[in-house]
Chain A
């Protein structure tokens, strides 16, 4: 019983870093997703092609490779120092998931019925008003369930930062496991349960969004 408390205490030390990475990369990823999503819809060919290139590169390569690239390779190239591993982790995760989610932003905006745009034009709305008042409120409702799903994916991805030396839950679990070999199953089950407890509210939110999205788009 004593050991269980000890494992719990050790893992709690890593909770802070896991949460910082999750919140930081989630906020940044949503911002990137909206910017990239709008850029891809832009009529400026240079802008949309460049964003398309970014999206394909980050979706085409693996997150773990990007993470290693950001923390080991980037300092070598141009001598860029990201300041800390924390920033490398947040940047890699948010750029990766931002690329995935930008496709959701783009797809949802495109899937808003054409008649809505036409009606807005008929009402003499400006481009900006059209987007802000008519298209976006309907598109965001479609995006929300997928955004929730990606939040769960991001939570899972935060475990990777232990590989570049950040002291998250998995890192402390690994340290503890290496000194108490026979307790390995308990340690990892605890780590898994930790992640699951963190994921539970996200699962609930996603389910709620899914229900409200299925009700149809009514504002």
Chain B
């Protein structure tokens, strides 16, 4: 066994510094995909058969092709595209690439949240002559948002685990730092293990937290269902 604690201590500051970059990038990517998810959500509302068909397949294309290739496309290929191409710095490219990839998933979360609200709620709001804005803010969103919170939290963790892809285009996150240390000292074991430990330390507690949230909201929804089903 070739484990060396000194190397681990030596690599620690470097990897730790990378962790902040990874965390920052995760949050930036996540916020971008939250906002861009709305874009897909609204585009899908636009009526018209052929148009919806095109949007559906564009989303399917983005979802079922590797985020790594999309990242490479935005970083290496985008500057070469005639007329509209601009070269981006790695950080922005990572936000765009990963953000767009995950926004297709996030928009599904929004959709399922809105669809989980009973149709009768819309009808009741109409019957009470609620204006559209108030219907959304007072009736639909308060019911649609809570069940999406655990799902959105899940995507934050998934995003966190995908962000090291950005090290391939030169974002100096944890993984990039570990590989750099490995290349300098020809010792990959300790820094890479350190990266894995950091990931575990950050993502496992969040996963437990989300499981708790899920239980909490599930319980509430069970209760609502039993209350509804009684009079029938």
Q: Could you list which residues of chain A lie within 8 angstroms of chain B, going by C-beta atoms?
A: 56-57, 59-66, 68-69, 72-73, 76-79, 152, 155-160, 162-163, 170, 173-174, 177, 181-185, 187-189, 191-192, 195-196, 199, 202-203
A60 to B203, Cβ gap below 8 A?
A: yes
Partner of A77, one of B1, B73, B163: B1
**Main secondary structure on chain A at its contact with chain B?**
helix
B193 to A68, Cβ gap below 8 A?
A: no
A57 to B65, Cβ gap below 8 A?
A: no
Q: Could you list which residues of chain B lie within 8 angstroms of chain A, going by C-beta atoms?
A: 1-3, 60-61, 64-70, 72-73, 76-81, 85, 160-165, 167-168, 175, 178-179, 182, 187-189, 192-193, 195-196, 199-200, 203-204, 207
B61 to A192, Cβ gap below 8 A?
A: yes
Chain A proximity of B73: nearest CB distance (Å): 4
A185 to B81, Cβ gap below 8 A?
A: yes
A56 to B204, CA, bound (A): 7
Q: Nearest 10 CB-CB pairs, A to B?
A: A159-B66, A72-B188, A76-B189, A199-B64, A62-B161, A184-B77, A188-B73, A73-B189, A156-B66, A185-B77
Known contacts A60-B199, A60-B200, A181-B80; decide if A68 and B72 are in contact (CB<8 Å).
no
B66 to A195, Cβ gap below 8 A?
A: yes
In addition to A60-B204, A155-B66, A187-B77, 12 A-B residue pairs with Cβ atoms within 8 Å of each other are A60-B199, A60-B203, A62-B161, A64-B167, A65-B196, A72-B182, A76-B2, A76-B189, A185-B85, A192-B65, A192-B69, A202-B64
* Residues of chain A within 8 A of B178, CB atoms compared: 68
Known contacts A72-B192, A76-B188, A192-B69; decide if A203 and B64 are in contact (CB<8 Å).
yes
| Closest chain B residue, CB of each to CB of A200 | B64
* Residues of chain A within 8 A of B195, CB atoms compared: 65
